[in-house]
Chains A and B, each alone.
Chain A
């Protein structure tokens, strides 16, 4: 018998997403940037709405129950572009199902 996944309507669960940008590739490094998206629709986080990070480090987010589901890869710089600066490198995606 094949199990079918329950829909969000059946479980009542929604995803909240926290994106943390860290000072190095270590998960316990300090937070330098953050974004949040709320699948419940109850809050509306947006650009420039806070000067205080939600956690001091990525590890602190884990301790508070956030589940890590993606971390940026460590890629060597393209030859000839070793000194270029661009996007933030150390991006970590967390979720909570609520």
Chain B
């Protein structure tokens, strides 16, 4: 895979948005001619890829997927999030049939994954216009740092501020591996298609994006945002954990504009009080 042009890399503000929300959405980024072909390609199936295959080798038998991951904006986002030459964990075509009766439980993919200085991303491509009735993917902004295992969150049907995806054809979204999500019930007359690829990084995920705006005020604003479903107290812990992730990927272990981490790790060691003498501590002579 060629190195994407700098102008197609994500900005720091976009990366901060991803760190805060666990998602990055690119509307209609795939051109119409590809969207027109996509349904037939996905119906026919994408050849299986062994776990851990380098991206540049993974889709040599699928011209369509190669074109998808080499679209400048898509390649730039992949590089910014997971770096050069990630490996393909797996891919899958998801089809929600017209009037399919069941929604998926809210879940995180794979198993509980508590890495604090690395993450996988999942590319999700929607070749059709997705309406609310078609049951576009449900995801919960800011849920990706919660330590839960797979569908143990299945009891949660609706969370305030959840995203029920409605998007134009050709939309791609990138999701952090931990985000709570699920395929919604399709109440429409149209089968809904989605193609997913999970990428594993092969380099340390530090400053892989266009860092020209690294200290832009909007970076801090993205990292400080709250979500309606957060409990008052836990919402503050979310910010603490976000700052740790931002420090890990920016390489700046002092970054903390709102002091969430600094305040609770401040343990000065310098002693300025006078020395005290404890009269009860004096050794007594044995007689």
Assess whether A42 is interfacial by the CB under 8 Å rule. no
Q: Is the interface of B mostly helix, strand, loop or mixed?
A: loop
Check if A47 sits within 8 Å of B138, measured CB to CB: yes
A47–B145 CA distance with the chains assembled, in angstroms: 21
Instruction: Mark interface residues in A63-98 (1 if CB within 8 Å of B CB, else 0).
Output: 000000000000000000001111111100000000
Please state if B156 and A49 are interface contacts (CB–CB under 8 Å). no
Question: Which residues between 155 and 176 of chain B lie within 8 Å of chain A, taking CB atoms?
Answer: 155-160, 162, 164
User: Are B105 and A47 closer than 8 Å at their CB atoms?
Assistant: yes
Determine whether B241 belongs to the interface, using a CB cutoff of 8 Å to chain A.
yes
| Residue contact B237 to A85, C-beta cutoff 8 Å | yes
Instruction: Report yes or no: B232 in contact with A23, Cβ–Cβ below 8 A.
Output: yes
Q: Which residues of A contact B162 (CB under 8 A)?
A: 48, 51
Number of A-B contacts defined by CB within 8 Å: 98
Please tell me if the beta carbons of A23 and B231 are within 8 angstroms of each other in the complex.
yes
Q: A22 CA to B234 CA in the complex, in Å?
A: 12
Q: Which of A19-38 contact B (CB under 8 A)?
A: 19, 21-24, 29, 31-36
Our pick among A24, A34, A45 for the contact of B231 (Cβ within 8 Å) is A24
A16 CB to closest chain B CB (Å) equals 14
Question: If the complex has contacts A31-B160, A35-B157, are A47 and B182 also in contact, measured as CB distance less than 8 A?
Answer: yes
Contact (A83, B103) CB under 8 Å given A46-B157, A48-B162, A50-B158: no
Are the CB atoms of A83 and B241 closer together than 8 Å? yes
Instruction: Give, as a whole number of angstroms, the nearest-CB distance from A66 to chain B.
Output: 16
Which residues does chain A contribute within 8 Å of B238, judged by CB atoms? 85
A24 to B, closest residue via Cβ: B232
Q: Hey, which chain A residues are within 8 Å of B182, CB to CB? A: 47-48
State whether the Cβ of B119 lies closer than 8 Å to any Cβ in chain A.
Answer: no
Determine the distance from Cα of A50 to Cα of B251 in the docked complex, in whole angstroms: 40
Contact B240 A48 (CB under 8 A): no
Find out whether the CB atom of A47 lies under 8 angstroms from the CB atom of B103: yes
Task: Indicate if the CB atoms of A86 and B146 lie closer than 8 Å.
Answer: yes
* Given A46-B185, A85-B237, A86-B146: A51 and B232 interface contact (C-beta under 8 Å): no
B158 near A87: Cβ-Cβ < 8 Å: no
Residues of B225-253 at the interface with A, using a CB-CB cut-off of 8 Å, are 228-234, 237-238, 240-241
CA distance A68 to B101 in the complex (A): 31
Which of A22, A32, A48, A51 has most chain B Cβ within 10 Å? A48
- B114's nearest neighbour on chain A, judged by CB, is A84
What is the chain B residue whose CB lies nearest that of A19? B155
Question: What sequence of 0s and 1s flags, for each residue 146-159 of chain B, a beta carbon within 8 Å of any chain A beta carbon?
Answer: 11100011111111
B75 an interface residue at 8 Å Cβ cutoff? no
Interface residues of B (CB under 8 A from A): 102-106, 135, 138, 145-148, 152-160, 162, 164, 182, 184-185, 228-234, 237-238, 240-241
In the assembled complex, 8 residue pairs joining A and B whose CB atoms fall closer than 8 Å, in A order, are A23-B230, A31-B160, A33-B158, A34-B157, A46-B102, A48-B103, A51-B160, A84-B147
Closest 7 CB pairs of A and B: A48-B138, A35-B157, A47-B103, A48-B184, A33-B159, A46-B103, A86-B147
